[in-house]
Amino acid sequence: MNRALLTGGVSAVALMGGYTATRAGAEETSTADATASASPSGRPAGGGFGQTIAYDDFVGVTTDGQVVDDLYAIHSTGVSTTPVVRAAQAFVDALSDEQKAATLFDIDSDQWLDWTNIDSNDRDGVALRDLSEKQYTLGTKLLKAALSARGLQQADGIRKLNQFLGEYSGDTSKALNEDAYWFTIMGTPSAKDPWGFQFEGHHLVINYFVLGDQVVMTPTFMGSEPTKITYDGKDYHLFKEETSAGLRLLRSLNDTQLAAALSDEEKGGTNLVAGAGQDNAVMPYVGLKGSDLTRAQQKLLSDLVEVYVGAMAEGHARVRMREIEKHLDDTYFHWIGAYEDDSAFYYRVHSPVVLIEYDAQSPLAYHGDRESASPTASASPGTGPGGPGAQGEPTQQHIHTIIRTPNGNDYGVDLLKLHLETDH
């Protein structure tokens, strides 16, 4: 990994690098990570155990291995990035030299691609739990500046239910707590030059790239187990909008459209494809094409996409939605599984400029009562349909989602290339 050059003669400190390259073998041979929590999330479908590639080898999600050119451009959006720039600058300035050495990376660092959604302490950067009160406040202000109110609420809910899962499993000392989430900063926060940050932990990974007033907030992974519970006197129901928006679109289809959208494949314990370690995934279009939808149905498709895009700050979300809606006719909708209100299902929205996956998965750590919980799920492969650690049929109590920018602009890679070609 290429560390950013630090001022003041501070040497780079290598902390826990390269975990994704070795994680697969450990899990496949049922060897528990020494730093993992007592109730790990187990093997995430479609990622988390693939070989992490280098930044220079990044291509992005494509339909056939070939990138579609001229989809992205450097332009003024008219939406200010000043709040997130200032929040990032304040956060970095508050870090100690040692924390900076662990947290700051070059803009084109391999660190961008070196993320996972599993519950491991084996991560680079600085964790919320290791920050002072002032630093913690500044870190949360950075998230608040980057996300919409809805996105921040979702992120906070994921972190809170991660704390619940630690208490449920009997161990909050490692990765199952609300502050086991790490910041890394790529480049130097600037109003003009490219930079970004990554916020990473169990069930929550946000990649946020900034160039001038343009923002790319993909890949963003959000998940939870459980998703619906009363905890600490508060009712939580995460991914309610993602679930209902998908069902609304599917239920609007006529028989011919349903035949195109529905897969013959039986819903498995995990169906997610483009998760961690799958940055160069090849995913052909499948399902019902947007041009075969009525105008009202296209509105439902757009509403579904907005649920995910709307996690970023409102102005930037509007810019992103305009980009996506230009390709609505070439957007495909694919569904695996039943479609009752409480069904466990998978759906995918896929176009040249957006990929969204929603996957209700098999239980791994939460089974509704302590007697049936399995605190060592990933230490010995389970026999359920979800693969190692999975136990039982898929359920809406364990949901994984991801949103990506296909054809080379995850992590803002395409924009950075254009910037370097035209400005340097």
pTM: 0.87
> Is residue 158 a contact partner of residue 238, using CB atoms and an 8 Å limit?
yes
Q: Exposed, middle or buried: residue 67 (CB in 10 Å: 0-12, 13-18, 19+)?
A: middle
Q: What is the CA radius of gyration of the chain?
A: 20
Kindly report, residue by residue over 334-378, the tens digit of the pLDDT.
999 999 999 999 999 999 999 999 999 999 999 985 433 333 333
Kindly report, residue by residue over 180-237, the tens digit of the pLDDT.
999 999 999 999 999 999 999 999 999 999 999 999 999 999 999 999 999 999 999 9
Residues forming beta bridges with residue 186, ordered by sequence position:
105, 196
User: Which regions of the chain are under pLDDT 50?
Assistant: 1-48, 370-388
Helices and strands, number each (H, E), in the chain: 10, 14
Q: Exposed, middle or buried: residue 330 (CB in 10 Å: 0-12, 13-18, 19+)?
A: middle
Q: What is the pLDDT of residue 422?
A: 87
Residues in Cβ contact with 96 at an 8 Å cutoff, skipping those fewer than 6 apart: none
Neighbours of 310 (CB within 10 A): 21
Amino acid at 402: I
**Rounded to whole angstroms, how far apart are CA atoms 223 and 154?**
10
Helix axes 295-309, 314-325, angle to 10 degrees: 140
